[in-house]
Amino acid sequence: MISIIDKYVAQLFILFFLAGLLTFTTLFLVVDFLSFAAQFTDAGFDTLLKFYGYLLPSVIYQMIPVASLLATVFTLSALNKSNELIALFSAGMSLARISAPILVIVAGLSALSFWLGDQVLPRFEQKKNYVEYVELRKKPGLYSTVNTNKIWYRSENVLFNIQTLNPEEAKAEGMTLYYFDEAWGLVQLIKANTVSILEDVWVLKKGTVTLFNTDSSFPLTKSFDEKQISMSEAVADLKSSSQASTVMSLGELRRFIKRNKDAGLDTTRYEVDYHSQFGFAFAALVMALMGIPFSVSRQRSGGFFLNAGICIGLAFLYWALYSSSLTLGRYGVLSPFISAWAPNFLTLGSSIYLLFRLNK
């Protein structure tokens, strides 16, 4: 049964959450706009507005955990500062009971975060990438689309797909290039098992070259162990473009991983991205739990700036741990599941330990 106290705590939390989400989202967009727009001084305002419209859901998604942490810290600190927390303890309510409405709301926010990451963000991300690489950067070769089990790119009269791309190591697997003439007739087909991306020169290994000659009824095919090809400037920095996992739902990403793994390709990076979507959905709940002991272990001194400092410090600590863990997973040091969930497990364990140490 929801009591008046639950409603009061919930209202405080929602107020601080919305204020925090609005503040963090606005700050992020303003700072990013100042640096991003400076690169495209000739871009129209409507194009930039469209780009940030598609970016907005991603920013909100990333700020939900931080806003949850801020709202938890400020809600409990406000109760502590006004001695309302002491009164509730005197009435026989435990810290867990007082925090219950906060955790219920954050659990709902975690579910919302999971839905956004799975169903909403992939579609907006693909549209954002189109605006960035095609309309702003004028490099359509960097715009990738995912069809079945391959990542597709286009550069002038060359159409090519990659089954897996590892930007950190500048390598790709399962690459096929289709070369067309001015009339868009297929003139050459190159396949390679592995590719090393070296600036504007790519080194292809273990593949075949097929020439389609109009004077011959049959195409000519020749194998090679290693072959170097020059790529246009538009796709020379392919490894800096968006990743396939960001434009796929969890179901699509799972099928993408299965197809490529069945083909014997390295899917470690995509498996980390897959598990990280589950792990990140719980980040709001974990960060809220992390904020509870820091909110009630201090007296009324400090005020706003102390609470803000606590939020920034805890958020930075979590993101540093989260980023490091995912990097270790992508390099194969940790399993994809462990790399995605280790930050949550460690943070949750630390939070529980600090809660048990509270003399409340």
Residues 74-119 pLDDT 10s: 998 888 888 888 888 888 888 888 899 999 999 999 999 999 999 9
| pLDDT value, residue 302 | 53
Does residue 153 register a pLDDT over 50?
A: yes
Does residue 299 register a pLDDT over 90?
A: no
Is 245 part of any domain? no
Q: Decide if 234 contacts 141 (C-beta within 8 A).
A: yes
Is 86 part of any domain? yes
Rounded to the nearest angstrom, the gap between the alpha carbon of residue 327 and the centroid of all alpha carbons in its chain is 13
Question: What domain range includes position 16?
Answer: 4-137+267-357
Q: Decide if 256 contacts 244 (C-beta within 8 A).
A: yes
Same domain membership, residue 95 and residue 149: no
Look at the chain and report how many structural domains it folds into: 2
Is 322 part of any domain? yes
Q: Decide if 139 contacts 129 (C-beta within 8 A).
A: no
Q: With CA atoms as reference, report the closest residue to 165 among 189, 132, 197.
A: 197
Same domain membership, residue 12 and residue 127: yes
CA distance 103 to 248: 30
Q: Where among 224, 240, 256 does a domain terminate?
A: 240
Q: Decide if 220 contacts 211 (C-beta within 8 A).
A: yes
Q: With CA atoms as reference, report the closest residue to 137 among 234, 50, 230, 53.
A: 234
CA distance 74 to 102: 12
Is 259 part of any domain? no
CA distance 343 to 321: 6
CA distance 192 to 210: 12
Q: Tokens 């000659």, residue?
A: 213
Q: Decide if 350 contacts 290 (C-beta within 8 A).
A: yes
Q: What is the mean pLDDT of residues 169-173?
A: 79
Q: Decide if 249 contacts 208 (C-beta within 8 A).
A: no
Same domain membership, residue 149 and residue 131: no
Same domain membership, residue 124 and residue 9: yes
The DSSP call for residue 317 is H
Mode of pairing for the β-strands spanning 201-211 and 186-198: antiparallel
Is 249 part of any domain? no
| pLDDT value, residue 220 | 85
Quote the percentage of the chain above a pLDDT of 70: 86
| pLDDT value, residue 96 | 84
Give this prediction's pTM.
0.79
| pLDDT value, residue 237 | 56
Same domain membership, residue 218 and residue 277: no
CA distance 67 to 110: 12
Same domain membership, residue 18 and residue 133: yes
CA distance 48 to 53: 8
Same domain membership, residue 16 and residue 121: yes
Same domain membership, residue 100 and residue 8: yes
200-250 pLDDT, tens per residue? Answer: 788 999 999 998 876 666 788 889 999 988 876 555 555 555 466 788 889
178 vs 197 pLDDT, higher one: 178
